[in-house]
Amino acid sequence: MKQVTPGSLLYQVNAPKATTGYKYVHINRNTQKIEESEPFVRSPLTDKDDNNDNDDATEKKENDKGINEFYGRSWTYRDVKTFDRIDTFPQDYNRISAKQLHPANEIPTMHIQAPAADIDRLHGYYLQDIDIKANMTYITSKKVHHFVDTTFKLGGRSSRYFTKFAYSVKLPKHTNIDNYRKLKLRAMSSDPSYMREKLGYDMLAAAGRPSTRNTYVRLFINDRAVGLFTVAEKYDDNFLRNEFGGGSKSYKTGILYEGEGATKRRHAADLSYHGDAASYYEGSAYEIAEKPKVGNNSYDALIAFTKFIDDQLKLQQNKSVDLNSTVDAWNKQIDVNGFFINMAFDFLVGNFDDYLQNTNNYFLYLEPRTERFVYLTWDLDMTFGSGPVKMRKLLQGDYRKYAGMSKRPLTKATLMTVPYFRQVFESQLRTIVHQLFQPSVVNPIIDSHVNFIKDDVAWDRSLPRERKGASFFPFGEHNIDNWFYNNATGETVSLPMTFSVINSADYLIRTNADISFQRAIEGPTRHSSLYALKNWFKEKTNKVLPYIDSPPTSKSK
């Protein structure tokens, strides 16, 4: 047995194909004695295992080469349930399959290799924006992707305060995995269920909404195991081409705007209109996240959209106007139905760091073929009853009373005011609850994911973290440099409308507490800032059903 390349995690052996059970062991080369052995016997590979790479074009060539297996795991493939597509919702994306980046029913491994001094600097100065160069290897059961001169850095803003960091990976130019170059490694540090983002993005896909995909991966940095993460696609021009253009190089991407909340110095990205001067929007919490390949690289389209919303709000003050007559005009500006699905989703999952409650973590993509905006959501780690907020308000069953619905210009001017839109939204909400959200649908999927990741969750929880101290209470030799030369986490972030001082204190405590995997799923969590995952679905469904099964649309205000 030998390493595939120097320093690689992957070892290769030439041996006959197993016909009986087998296991891997560590042998002392000097004494030839077994020092460690897997505590189980692996079953011989079946034809199903050989075909599990989902790549028929190379299957015959690789059929007898075996598979890449992870030491200490008794399985390489395990069926995991997911959500069925909602057939009555249009599929608003034309995405590529991405079977290499997101293989089905397995957990890939990502290996980062870089000089130890660079890794120490990255982790030591964690509040500073530092890029390092690294080699990256992505290992699935049948494929090994190796990249030299990859850019590796810490990811996120508030996630830097956890002891388990999130990361960003940027592959070199002219290289990719399934046409993707920029990847996010999500640490799930605040989620002891390890499932919230995974379930959230899978739900969005089942509802036909464009969004990143999410796949579990095992991460190693040099010779050290770091833990279980999820890998997601960053929203950039490659993502837009892959999501809306089927990966075709002929697809020319439009401009992508990002809403980033608000700070003391930057106005909220709430889509309110403040005149035609670009300077106001440039100084607000909007960003041009991706320059267009076609159209103007400016805030002009965003300004025009906010003016349209403002004009509609003014028009709605005229009681003689038939508001349903404005539906066509709205549909020329934005994919309204798609936006409503996203709002129904945020309402159900209790997403408090979104457009509704924090004018944050959303994107508006000006799709060049339709020349209208498409709404995209981002960052679903603190959902389904997790976060420093008032859970009672997030569990509100009447969407009309849900924080942000009647305040944000885009929801106020559409589903809260136009009768036709209100009926559409309520119909979509009803469908999502019954086909995706209620416990009878979601609990078997949760149970399947528990079985899929439980070994790796136990492994992750056993590992030392990359930063000493406690989450949000840092200790280390570079504290002064981190606090005084912080250029990564930005200014003080805005607080959501449902923010709770009491639950924020509990949040700081419980992110450093030992909440078992089972308790995170089934309960009790014993923390006011964290609902057990299944309990959230149960309680939110029970709160919502009386309103959606007999929606009081005629009395809506």
Q: What are phi and psi of 396, to 5 degrees?
A: -50, 130
Q: Which pLDDT band, with edges at 50, 70 and 90, does 293 fall under? A: very high
User: Which residue type, as a one-letter code, is found at position 304?
Assistant: A
Instruction: For the chain, give the number of residues.
Output: 557
Compute the distance between CA of residue 467 and CA of residue 190 in angstroms, rounded to an integer.
Answer: 15
End-to-end alpha-carbon separation of the chain, Å?
A: 71
Using the CB atoms, write b or e for 177-211: b if 16+ within 10 Å. Answer: bbbbbbbbbbbbbbbbbbbbbbbbbbbbbbbbbbb
> pLDDT tens for residues 233-245?
999 999 999 999 9
Using the CB atoms, write b or e for 526-546: b if 16+ within 10 Å. Answer: ebbbbbbbbbbbbbbbebbee
Q: What are phi and psi of 34, to 5 degrees?
A: -75, 120
> pLDDT tens for residues 114-148?
999 999 999 999 999 999 999 999 999 999 999 99
Ordered alpha helix ranges (H), 433-467? 439-462
Ordered alpha helix ranges (H), 334-478? 336-349, 355-358, 391-394, 409-413, 419-432, 439-462
User: Exposed (0-12), middle (13-18) or buried (19+): which is 16, by Cβ within 10 Å?
Assistant: exposed
> pLDDT tens for residues 469-511?
899 876 656 655 555 455 555 555 678 999 999 999 999 999 9
Compute the distance between CA of residue 519 and CA of residue 525 in angstroms, rounded to an integer.
Answer: 6
* Residue 551: closest CA among 416, 395, 427: 427
Compute the distance between CA of residue 144 and CA of residue 457 in angstroms, rounded to an integer.
Answer: 24
Does residue 451 or residue 493 have the better pLDDT? 451
According to the model, what pLDDT value does residue 527 have? 98
CA dihedral 143, 235, 378, 192 (to 10 degrees): 30
Domain boundaries, the chain: 1-75, 252-438+545-555
According to the model, what pLDDT value does residue 495 have? 85
- Average pLDDT, whole number, for the chain? 92
Answer whether 0.85 is exceeded by the pTM: yes
Residue 53 has pLDDT above 60, yes or no: no
According to the model, what pLDDT value does residue 556 have? 37
Q: For the chain, count helices (H), then strands (E).
A: 18, 17
> Do residues 410 and 522 lie in contact, with contact meaning Cβ atoms separated by under 8 Å?
no
The secondary element (H helix, E strand) that includes residue 205 is helix 196-206
- Three-point CA angle 282, 262, 356, nearest 5°: 110
Compute the distance between CA of residue 245 and CA of residue 259 in angstroms, rounded to an integer.
Answer: 23
* Residue 106: closest CA among 64, 62, 84, 138: 138
Three-class secondary structure assignment of 124-185 = HCCCCCCEEEEEEEEECCCCEEEEEEEEEEECCCHHHHCCCCCEEEECCCCCCECCECEEEE
Instruction: Give the dihedral sign, CA 344/350/351/353.
Output: positive
Compute the distance between CA of residue 24 and CA of residue 38 in angstroms, rounded to an integer.
Answer: 6
Residue whose structure tokens are 């309990």 = 535
In percent, how much of the chain has pLDDT > 70? 91
> pLDDT tens for residues 452-468?
999 999 999 999 999 98
